[in-house]
């Protein structure tokens, strides 16, 4: 009995110790949590700062390209033949419409003379056929015309007498019948006189004339095609034939270029192309040269093309100042996409994305951080323009704020002047 009492007392003591231990452990956890929270809230960050300034800032894209003529054309003869004459050589300047070279046309000239003769003969044959009508029916035509005029006058005179009651209707009918007969005879002869040869004979002669005129026209066009004519003002930069050479129709033999009007072809990354606009100022230079020349963006391709790394968009730049460049020179290109003489700038290290993925920066105010939401402006090489009404010139912006950084954090500047 007594042993049972002792055993129960030992069990109760163990329970008391267990409960007390758990209680103390909870108190310790709460204490540690509170202490940690206070320590976290009171943590001091040692960070660099930079002063907000006003500076002239520009955003520039750097690339390279190749110089080309603003306009160039390949020329060829529109017919085959042997080159007989050449009026210009490589390096010469030609004006639009000038003859550069000619093919041998001796045989062609003979063919043109024969074709002209055939046209003239066919024209004479038609004229001869039509004149036959005059020869065969002229006398008969004149007599029928006299008879017709007399019968007409006689009928009209007797019609008046009939109306006056002088002659009878039967007498008037005789005059009318005579008039109708002479009229029909006159019209028949007139048709033969004026329309002689309008039948199948004339149609054959007309077809022969048309065929001869077509042949002559083709030969005269060949004569024009035997001349190589400049289609634009420019310099001959390539000549691929000599006198006596046989050239084939549409074979490229001459290149004309505007070497005094040059462009630069460049490729702009798909990530930068939205900043490129027609008319933008461009600075063009060549590696090793001290001189720079001015240009402007004149053409932006409507589609991108693939490159080894990413898609690019072809762009053309016109060189607008006097220069010594030649086609196929490699040059460096600078395109200023944005500029401002009074931009409010901070280092890129000051930029921060908050938990809502919004752009902001932190300024140091009375030893603590203050968050200011900003809008990005011009991107410079080391500085970026920031737009925010709350941000003032001379404010100290905090650089490289850590991920756990937030508004109200205690900050001590590592700068010597802070």
Domains of the chain, by residue range, sit at 1-42, 47-70+261-418, 73-100+229-256, 107-224
One CATH from 2.40.50.100, 3.30.390.50, 2.60.40.1290, 3.20.20.70 for 73-100+229-256: 2.40.50.100
Q: Tell me what pLDDT residue 229 has.
A: 93
Find, among 85, 82, 80, 77, the residue nearest to 102 by Cα.
85
* Residue 171 backbone dihedrals phi, psi, to 5 degrees: -65, -40
Q: Tell me what pLDDT residue 74 has.
A: 95
Q: Tell me what pLDDT residue 19 has.
A: 52
Q: Tell me what pLDDT residue 381 has.
A: 83
The two three-digit tokens of residue 42, written as one number: 């009171």
The C-alpha atoms of residue 273 and residue 61 are separated, in whole angstroms, by 10
Q: Tell me what pLDDT residue 31 has.
A: 44
Q: Tell me what pLDDT residue 223 has.
A: 87
Q: Tell me what pLDDT residue 43 has.
A: 82
The two three-digit tokens of residue 191, written as one number: 């048709």
β-strands 93-94, 234-239: how paired?
antiparallel
Q: Is residue 345 within 8 Å of residue 384, measured between CB atoms? A: yes
Residue 104 CA, chain-centre distance (Å), reads 40
**Burial of 392: CB neighbours in 10 Å, binned 0-12, 13-18, 19+:** exposed
What is the SS3 assignment for 61? strand
Find, among 212, 205, 202, the residue nearest to 119 by Cα.
212
Task: Please name the residue that has the structure tokens 């762009």.
Answer: 315
Q: Tell me what pLDDT residue 54 has.
A: 94
**Adjacent-strand bridge partners of 193:** none
- pTM value is 0.56
The C-alpha atoms of residue 268 and residue 64 are separated, in whole angstroms, by 10
- The dihedral over CA atoms of 23, 27, 33, 39, expressed in degrees to the nearest 10, equals -160
Q: Tell me what pLDDT residue 363 has.
A: 95
Q: Tell me what pLDDT residue 11 has.
A: 46
Identify the segments of the chain with pLDDT beneath 50. 1-9, 11, 16, 27, 30-40, 417-418
User: Any idea what DSSP says for residue 392?
Assistant: -
Q: Tell me what pLDDT residue 145 has.
A: 86
Q: Which CATH architecture has domain 47-70+261-418?
A: Beta Barrel (2.40)
């Amino acid at each position: 009995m007594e042993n049972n009492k002792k055993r129960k007392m030992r069990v109760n003591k163990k329970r008391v110790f267990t409960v007390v231990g758990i209680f103390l452990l909870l108190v310790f956890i709460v204490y540690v949590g509170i202490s940690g929270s206070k320590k976290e809230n009171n943590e001091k960050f040692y960070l660099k700062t930079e002063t907000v300034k006003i500076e002239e800032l520009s955003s520039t894209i750097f690339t390279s390209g190749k110089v080309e003529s603003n306009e160039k054309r390949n020329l060829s003869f529109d017919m085959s033949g042997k080159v007989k004459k050449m009026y210009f050589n490589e390096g010469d300047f030609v004006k639009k419409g000038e003859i550069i070279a000619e093919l041998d046309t001796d045989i062609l000239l003979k063919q043109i003379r024969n074709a002209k003769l055939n046209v003239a003969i066919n024209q004479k044959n038609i004229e001869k056929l039509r004149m036959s009508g005059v020869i065969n029916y002229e006398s008969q035509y004149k007599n029928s015309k006299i008879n017709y005029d007399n019968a007409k006058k006689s009928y009209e005179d007797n019609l008046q007498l009939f109306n006056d009651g002088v002659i009878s209707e039967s007498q008037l009918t005789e005059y009318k019948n005579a008039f109708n007969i002479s009229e029909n005879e006159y019209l028949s002869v007139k048709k033969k006189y004026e329309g002689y040869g309008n039948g199948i004979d004339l149609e054959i002669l007309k077809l022969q004339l048309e065929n001869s005129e077509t042949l002559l026209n083709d030969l005269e066009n060949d004569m024009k095609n035997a001349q190589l004519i400049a289609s634009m003002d420019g310099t001959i930069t390539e000549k691929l034939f000599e006198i006596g050479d046989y050239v084939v129709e549409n074979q490229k033999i001459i290149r004309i270029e505007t070497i005094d009007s040059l462009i630069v072809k460049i490729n702009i990354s798909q990530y930068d192309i939205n900043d490129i606009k027609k008319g933008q100022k461009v600075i063009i230079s060549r590696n090793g040269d001290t001189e720079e020349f001015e240009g402007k963006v004149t053409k932006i391709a409507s589609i991108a093309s693939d490159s080894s790394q990413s898609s690019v968009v072809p762009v053309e730049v016109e060189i607008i100042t006097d220069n010594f460049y030649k086609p196929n020179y490699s040059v460096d290109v600078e395109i200023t996409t944005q500029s401002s003489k009074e931009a409010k700038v901070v280092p890129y290290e000051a930029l921060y994305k908050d938990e809502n993925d919004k752009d902001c920066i932190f300024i140091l105010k009375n030893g603590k951080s203050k968050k200011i939401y900003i809008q990005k402006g011009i991107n410079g090489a080391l500085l970026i323009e920031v737009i925010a009404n709350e941000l003032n010139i001379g404010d100290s912006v905090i650089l490289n704020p850590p991920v756990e950084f937030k508004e109200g954090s205690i900050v001590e500047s590592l700068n010597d002047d802070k």
